[in-house]
Amino acid sequence: MSLGQVLVTGTPGWLGTRLVRHLADAGIQVRCLVLPGSDADELAAAGADIVEGDVTDAASLTAAVAGIDVVFHAAGIIHTGMLNIGDLRKVNAKGTRNLLESSVRAGVRRFVYVSSNSAAGCNRRRDLLMNEYTPPRPYMRYGASKSLAEAAVNEAWIREQIETVILRPCWYYGPGQPERQTRLMKMITMGTAPMFGDGLNLRSMTYVDSLCGALALAADSETARGETYWIADDRPYTTAEIYSTMAEVLGVEFRTKRYPAFTSGGAAMVDKVLQSAGLYQMEIHVAGEMYKDIACSVRKARKDLGWEPPADLREGMRSSVAWAREAGLLDG
C-alpha cells in the first residue's frame, strides 16, 4: 500500500490513535492534527508528526494539510455528557467543510471521511437492512450534523475538487474503548445493564481495528472514489445477543435490568425536546435509541474494497475485555 503522506484528525481520540498505529505499522508516513495542549506522546511514540490546529479554525489547518496526499477525517463530537447542540454543527459540519476547503487548496488527492450510522438514521423495518442506497433519515441533531458533513464531502467530489470516500461505522467496540463502553461492561457484570422490551432489536457493531483496515483500503481503492460505505461486522446482532456475549466473555451470569419498550420511546421524546432547546444529555439520548433497529448490510464494502468484516462478535469482545482488564478499568 502506498498512500504517500497522510493526515489523521481526531487524535489523540480512540479511533484516531488506533488508525495512526495501523498506518504507521504499515510503513506509512503519518501526520496528526491535535487540539492545542493535547497529550500527543502516544502519537509521537508511534512515529507520527504532530501539528496543532482546530477544524473550527480554518486558518489553523494550512500547516496540517501542506504536502499531504490523503486526509483521514475522524475528528468530531459524539457523546460527551451534556453539550450545547450548536457545537455539533460547528465541529461536525462546519469543521468538515473547513478541512475540505483547506485540503482542496493544498492539492490533497483524497479525503476519507468517517461519518456515522446516525447520518442515515434507523431501519424502517426490522427485516430490511439499511444499505448505501437507503434514503437517509438523520437521527436527531447529531445525525443531522454528520449528514451535513456528508453533503459537503459529496459536493466536493461532484465538483471534481478532490477524490472523496465516506465510511459509515456503527456502534464501536474494541481495545482502547471509551469510558461509556467500559461502563456498560461494568453494568453487565452487576446485572444492571438496561434492556428495553424483548431485546430483539437489531444493532450493527463495528470493531475498531477492522474499521482502521477499511479506512486504509478506502484511501487506496480506485473503485471507492466518490462512494459511501457502511462498515460493520458481517451481520447485525440483537441487543440480547450483544449483552449475553459480553456476559460470557466477562465470565458472569447473563442478567439485565428490564424496562418496557415504551420507556425507550419516552426517553427519545425527552431527548428530542432537550435537543430542540439546544441541549444534549448522553444517558437520555442513548436510552432513547436502545430499542431501535440500527442495522446495515456491508455487502458493498466487501465487493468494492475487498474488505472482510469480523464474523464473530465474541472474538472482538474478548479483545475489548482483555484491554479493559489490563488497563485496570474493570476493577472495583
pLDDT digits (tens, 9 = 90+) for 46-55: 999 999 999 9
Q: Lowest mean pLDDT of 136-140, 197-201, 272-276, name the range.
A: 272-276
Residue 199 and residue 239 in contact, taking contact as beta carbons nearer than 8 Å = yes
Contacts of 274 (CB under 8 A, 6+ apart): 280, 281, 284
Could you tell me the pTM of the whole model? 0.96
- Give the end-to-end CA distance of the chain in Å, rounded to a whole number: 44
pLDDT band at 82 (very low <50, low <70, confident <90, very high): low
Q: Which residues pair with 167 in a beta bridge?
A: 114, 229
pLDDT band at 91 (very low <50, low <70, confident <90, very high): very high
The single-letter code of the amino acid at 162 is I
Neighbouring C-beta atoms of residue 266, cutoff 10 Å: 15
pLDDT digits (tens, 9 = 90+) for 237-262: 999 999 999 999 999 999 999 999 99
The pLDDT assigned to 277 comes to: 85
Q: How far apart are CA 154 and CA 219, in angstroms?
A: 16
Q: Which residues pair with 206 in a beta bridge?
A: 172
Q: Which of 125, 286, 92, 81 is nearest to 195 (CA)?
A: 286
On the question of pLDDT at 306 being above 90, the answer is yes
Q: Which CATH architecture has domain 5-176+204-236+294-312?
A: 3-Layer(aba) Sandwich (3.40)
The pLDDT assigned to 92 comes to: 96
Where does residue 190 fall: left (phi above 0), alpha (psi -120 to 50 degrees), or beta otherwise? alpha
Where are the domains positioned within the chain?
5-176+204-236+294-312
Neighbouring C-beta atoms of residue 236, cutoff 10 Å: 25
On the question of pLDDT at 1 being above 70, the answer is no
